[in-house]
């Protein structure tokens, strides 16, 4: 089935460690996005990518890094520089134009 897959669903890390969240899509979508969601809050855009080997900072990029080496993959690394990394992370993808964006089921990251 076509879709967008995030893994793992739950992730625990020790403070000070970098961690990479996976996002894969087989929808042949050009654009991919990463969002952070804190309890009771809306989605905040971290990074987005329109094409392979290109990406732009969103509204809260500090402490995060991404890569887009393949069209279907857009991994997010939460670095030790991110001061409050515990959150729900969502990945999305879309085609060009005014088509809908598809979201993964999210990764809940807990840093202890």
5 lies in the binding site for another protein (CB under 8 A): no
Nearest distance, CB of residue 109 and another protein, angstroms: 14
104 lies in the binding site for another protein (CB under 8 A): yes
For another protein, which residue of 38, 81, 101, 110 counts as binding (CB under 8 A)? Answer: 101
**Rounded to the nearest 5 degrees, what angle is found at the Cα of 38, between the Cα atoms of 51 and 103?**
35
For another protein, which residue of 26, 59, 81, 110 counts as binding (CB under 8 A)? Answer: 59
Strands, E, within 26-75: which ranges? 31-37, 43-49, 56-57, 64-66
């Amino acid at each position: 089935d076509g879709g967008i897959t995030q893994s793992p669903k739950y992730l625990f890390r020790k403070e000070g460690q970098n961690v990479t969240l996976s996002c894969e899509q087989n929808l042949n979508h050009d654009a991919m996005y990463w969002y952070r969601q804190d309890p009771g809050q809306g989605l905040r855009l971290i990074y987005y990518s329109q094409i392979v080997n290109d990406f732009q900072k969103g509204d809260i990029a500090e402490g995060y890094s991404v890569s887009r080496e393949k069209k279907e993959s857009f991994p997010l690394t939460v670095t030790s520089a991110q001061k409050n990394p515990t959150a729900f992370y969502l990945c999305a993808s879309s085609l060009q134009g005014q088509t809908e964006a598809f979201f993964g089921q999210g990764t809940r990251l807990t840093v202890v």
